[in-house]
Amino acid sequence: MVTKTVDLRSDTVTKPTELMRAAMANAEVDDDVLGSDPTTFRLEAEVAKIMGKEAGLFVPSGTMGNLISVLVHCDIRGSEVILGDNSHVHIFENGGIATLGGVHPRTVKNNDDGTMNIELIEAAIRNPSWELVYPTTRLICLENSHANSGGRCLSVEYTDKVGELAKKHDLKLHIDGARIFNAATALGVPVDRLVQPADSVSVCLSKGLGAPVGSVIVGSKSFITKARRLRKTLGGGMRQNGVLCAAALVALQENVGKLDEDHKKAKVLAEGLNQIKGLRVNVTAVETNIIFIDIVEGSKITGEKLCKNLGEHGVLVMPETSSRIRIVMHHQISASDVQYTLLCFQQAFAGVPDENGN
Ligand SMILES: Cc1ncc(COP(=O)(O)O)c(C=O)c1O
């Protein structure tokens, strides 16, 4: 019988801490749709201040945060957004920007490090003098850290360059900052500096920061006024959501400072996994809390089988493809959980030959 669970499927699996539960129980609340929930206001103001923006808006999820942001910037149907072909908004958000907002996605190839080449972004901007046939480019969207690239970080220099390009062409810049605190921590830069050129940022509180629910989008006061209205249209106006925001305020206090530790644990795990015959991890690409593990070609075990085998020992991981597994580190994984996970991978691979058949 399995007695231990090490849940590495995502950083969204964390359970609210005692302090979060206490804060939720004691939260001062009122009706947020009527504009009078004090705890929600506190969270929105706090996140806006941390991110160096004028105002914030609590939303139930990162997906809604990105959707609202894109739709506010692209408020005329047939607008176009330039975004990465491997970005969360493009791949994992049900095409909401197109189906609900009439926004046309113009994808640019994401490099392995999550960037898009600046020249390719510029080349994707539509020439306004051809407006009879072209959609109108209104927005560029970045993602930092970049989940599908294994949590890699976009630097201040890169973000600034994209911001300059956006300004030059009179476009807005949105950052999907679901894990922006991970990126700022890994880069060793203040988070407000990292997002300085952005007109809006969507910040998740329920990923590495461990809150049970929610994201905050930040931007100018006028952006947030429009976003608030759109949130209501989408059915996202909530009442006593101070109970959720109270937990998120604790998450900001408790867990931003733990992200560095999460990144170190991820590195230790990545290095250990890369030593196992039959597995390959690009350790240098592990910049934050996400690890992609490749099963080498010719190996006797598939991703699905490996996940099942690990699951029987209480180690929960996500298959990405038949030969790739994703692990996401978070604050509720201990150093001994990391060692236990390594042991479980080792036993699953005992006897499986490496890529040279040894
Ligand atoms: C980079 C990124 N953006 C946005 C989201 C969407 O967040 P949510 O699951 O809260 O809708 C995720 C979720 O994993 C994500 O990884």
What pLDDT score does 187 carry? 98
DSSP state of 135: P
d(CA 324, CA 306): 10
Does residue 167 belong to any structural domain of this protein? yes
Phi, psi of 182 (to 5 degrees): -65, -45
Specify the DSSP element, H or E, that contains 35.
none
Residue 1: is its pLDDT beyond 80?
A: no
Q: How confident is the model at residue 129 (pLDDT cuts 50, 70, 90)?
A: confident
How many independent structural domains does the chain possess?
2
The DSSP line for 69-113 is HHHHHT-STTEEEEEETT-HHHHSSTTHHHHTT-PEEEEEPPPTT
Residue 301: is its pLDDT beyond 90?
A: no
Does residue 104 belong to any structural domain of this protein? yes
Q: Of the residues 13, 14, 207, which should be mutated to test ligand 1's pocket, given the most ligand atoms within 8 Å of the CB?
A: 207
Going from the Cα of 63 to the center of ligand 1, the distance in angstroms, rounded, reads 6
Residue 96: is its pLDDT beyond 60?
A: yes
Closest atom of ligand 1 to CA, residue 206: 10
Q: Are residues 99 and 195 in the same domain?
A: yes
Closest atom of ligand 1 to CA, residue 145: 1
Residue 261: is its pLDDT beyond 80?
A: yes
Least confident of 20-29, 128-137, 347-356: 347-356
Amino acid of residue 5: T
d(CA 328, CA 336): 16
Q: Are residues 267 and 214 in the same domain?
A: no
Residue 202: is its pLDDT beyond 90?
A: yes
d(CA 294, CA 324): 5
Q: How confident is the model at residue 300 (pLDDT cuts 50, 70, 90)?
A: confident
Closest atom of ligand 1 to CA, residue 146: 1
Q: Are residues 211 and 267 in the same domain?
A: no
Q: Are residues 41 and 123 in the same domain?
A: yes
CATH number for the domain that contains residue 181: 3.40.640.10
Q: Are residues 242 and 263 in the same domain?
A: no
Going from the Cα of 282 to the center of ligand 1, the distance in angstroms, rounded, reads 23
Q: How many CB atoms sit inside 10 A of residue 233's CB? A: 11
Q: Are residues 201 and 297 in the same domain?
A: no
Q: Are residues 182 and 232 in the same domain?
A: yes
d(CA 67, CA 222): 17
d(CA 181, CA 191): 7
Q: Are residues 147 and 192 in the same domain?
A: yes
Going from the Cα of 138 to the center of ligand 1, the distance in angstroms, rounded, reads 23
Going from the Cα of 128 to the center of ligand 1, the distance in angstroms, rounded, reads 32
Going from the Cα of 64 to the center of ligand 1, the distance in angstroms, rounded, reads 9
- Write out the residue range of the structural domain in which residue 330 sits: 6-12+258-349
Pocket of ligand 1 (CB under 6 A): 61-63, 66, 88, 143, 147, 176, 178, 204
Q: Are residues 110 and 247 in the same domain?
A: yes
Residue 59: is its pLDDT beyond 70?
A: yes
Beta strands 318-321 and 324-328: pairing type?
antiparallel
Residue 357: is its pLDDT beyond 60?
A: no
d(CA 317, CA 304): 10
Q: Are residues 73 and 180 in the same domain?
A: yes
Mean pLDDT across the chain? 95
The per-residue b/e assignment along 18-49, b for 16 or more CB within 10 angstroms, e otherwise, is eebeebbeebebeebeeeebebbbbbbebbbe
Q: How confident is the model at residue 143 (pLDDT cuts 50, 70, 90)?
A: very high
Closest atom of ligand 1 to CA, residue 87: 1
CATH number for the domain that contains residue 312: 3.90.1150.10
When pLDDT is averaged across residues 193-217 and rounded to a whole number, the result is 98
